[in-house]
Amino acid sequence: MKKIGIVGVGCISGIYLENITNRFQEIEVIGVCDLVRERAEAAVAKYHIPKLYEDMYELFADPDVDIVLNLTRPFQHHGVSKAALLAGKHVYSEKPLGASFEEGVELVRLAEERGLMIGGAPDTFLGAGIQTCRKLIDEGAIGEVVGATAFMTGHGPESWHPDPEFFYKFGGGPMLDMGPYYVTALVNLLGGVKRVGGMVSAPFSQRVMGCKEHFGELIDVEVPTSYYGVMEFQSGAVASLMTSFDIYGARLPIIEIYGSKGTLRVPDPNWFGGPVVLHTPEKGDEEIPLAFDYPENSRALGLAEMASALKAGRRPRAGWKQTLHVLEVLTGFERAVQNGGYLDMTTTYEREAPMTMGLAHGVLD
């Protein structure tokens, strides 16, 4: 069993702690730290965690920690993960891998030089919904894939998040915040991306916070809040992706994959389950039963899978080859705009094996 030390005990940490404690047999949390000590103290008390570290450096120095789980804010991912790697720890980070492609490249270089694993979220692609979609595509249910569309629309997290300012600063915006779910799903279904193009905008220079903690305070917007991207995959398929914090309401498909024999409606990649809908000329819409485990909120599934990969001496399914390629795509849309056209990817990507069917729940191959 691999021992996990957690840096950052904010909003997302609860579901990680719940699942690590009660679901996955490959991992256990042995200690936590947070800049707000009260958060760490509350987690220690609720989940009976043995150790409370004064800071992340004390955590990194603990020889009992096998993997550092980085749950800090996006602009902090690079600094925390880099320090953990320099201390000789494997790293699993919340998305994105870094706030820029250059940050991701540096982290991967450090991990490779030291023989360490680094990877991370999202792990929703390992769930029942997207794994079922992959099986259908691989079996030819929609024929040859020719294209795809994906949409993530809303009016930003400032109305509900207790500390939303970072969503509008370096490392934020809808593409780095929500885009990882969509791009990770797409590359797992369609393979690696060859080049990207896009346009971006930021129509509102300020946002008004609606959360009770900062009600009425203003946020100065420093990043694009709408992205309109196009991706050409190595297979020749072309997909469009729109992510926006500027839309009050829309009726758009979440992800659709278009093939020579039919269309596949992919479930929300922010979650692990369904529904999965196959449309063919012969049968029309048909909801397909989920063929894999983990339809429920299974965050930490990727972390547990990394622990299993360490034990088996293989690459993790949510390893750096995926997270770095996804980061290059995410940041590539805006860089393509700056280049005045399209941007060729410098990273390549090959899908890892699909999830293994028939294992006991909470056990990974």
Q: What pLDDT shows up at residue 211?
A: 85
* pLDDT higher than 90, residue 339: no
Answer for the pair 126, 294: CB distance below 8 angstroms, yes or no. Answer: yes
Nearest to 175 by CA among 229, 135, 211: 229
Q: What is the mean pLDDT of residues 63-67?
A: 98
Tokens of 135: 């099986």
> Rg for the chain (alpha carbons), in Å?
20
Tokens of 317: 């399914």
Which 8-state DSSP code applies to residue 121?
Answer: S
* Local structure of 218: helix, strand or coil: strand
Answer for the pair 95, 302: CB distance below 8 angstroms, yes or no. Answer: no
Calpha distance 107→104 (Å, rounded): 5
Q: What pLDDT shows up at residue 320?
A: 98
Q: How many CA atoms lie within 13 A of 123 on its CB side?
A: 25
Nearest to 51 by CA among 38, 65, 66: 65
> Over pLDDT 90: what percentage of the chain?
95
Calpha distance 123→28 (Å, rounded): 18
Q: What pLDDT shows up at residue 212?
A: 83
Region for 90 from its dihedrals, namely left if φ exceeds 0, alpha if ψ lies in -120 to 50, beta otherwise: beta
Residue type, 132: T
Query: Please, what is the average pLDDT of the chain?
Result: 97
φ/ψ of 6, rounded to 5, equals -105, 130
pLDDT tens for each residue of 256-294: 999 999 999 999 999 999 899 999 999 999 999 999 999
Residue located via tokens 């024929």: 143
pLDDT tens for each residue of 164-192: 999 999 999 999 999 999 999 999 999 99
Q: Which residues contact 37 (CB under 8 A, 6 or more apart)?
A: none
**DSSP notation for 127-144:** SHHHHHHHHHHHTTTT-S
**DSSP notation for 309-331:** HHHHTS--TTBHHHHHHHHHHHH
Q: What pLDDT shows up at residue 5?
A: 98
Segment among 142-151, 191-200, 356-365 with least mean pLDDT = 356-365
Q: What pLDDT shows up at residue 112?
A: 98
* pLDDT higher than 90, residue 24: yes
Calpha distance 33→96 (Å, rounded): 20
Answer for the pair 308, 364: CB distance below 8 angstroms, yes or no. Answer: yes
* pLDDT higher than 90, residue 156: yes
Q: Which helix (H) or strand (E) holds 85?
A: helix 77-86
Cα dist from 234 to 138, 192, 237, 342, 349, whole Å:
16, 6, 7, 15, 9
Q: What is the mean pLDDT of residues 302-326?
A: 98
* pLDDT higher than 90, residue 340: no
Q: What pLDDT shows up at residue 314?
A: 97
pLDDT tens for each residue of 43-53: 999 999 999 99
Question: Within a 10 A sphere around the Cβ of 248, how many other Cβ atoms?
Answer: 7
Q: What is the mean pLDDT of residues 129-133?
A: 98
Tokens of 27: 């991992």
Answer for the pair 253, 162: CB distance below 8 angstroms, yes or no. Answer: no
Q: What is the mean pLDDT of residues 213-236?
A: 96
Question: Within a 10 A sphere around the Cβ of 361, how many other Cβ atoms?
Answer: 10
